[in-house]
Amino acid sequence: MQISVRVIPGSSRSDVEPGDPWRVHVHARPAEGKANEELLQILSRHFGVARSAVRILRGHASRSKTVEIGLEGTAMVEDIR
């Protein structure tokens, strides 16, 4: 599954707001990839997948990103069937 994400770095909270695009608040600043790493961790927890199943496809240096979430083999896929 691919989603469009708007990252809000330096936020006082870390959370996910579904929508188009999804808004993800991260505490980390966008230095040395820390905000990107926190983004991936937050999304993996939100979707209940391993961190390795989430990756940034486009927008590594931008607040607007395209993120791929591999849902194969997770409980969410089982619930959909």
The domain spans of the chain are 2-69
DSSP assignment letter at 36: H
DSSP per-residue string spanning 53-71: GEEEEE-TTSSEEEEEE--
Tens digit of each residue's pLDDT (9 = 90 or more) over 44-80:
999 999 999 999 999 999 999 999 999 875 554 444 4
In this prediction the pTM is: 0.84
2-69 carries CATH number 3.30.1200.10: yes
CB atoms within 10 A of CB 6: 17
Distance, CA of 54 to CA of 33 (rounded, Å):
15
* Integer Cα distance of 76 and 10 in angstroms: 30
Helix H or strand E segment including 6: strand 2-8
Residues 8-53 have pLDDT tens digits of 999 999 999 999 999 999 999 999 999 999 999 999 999 999 999 9
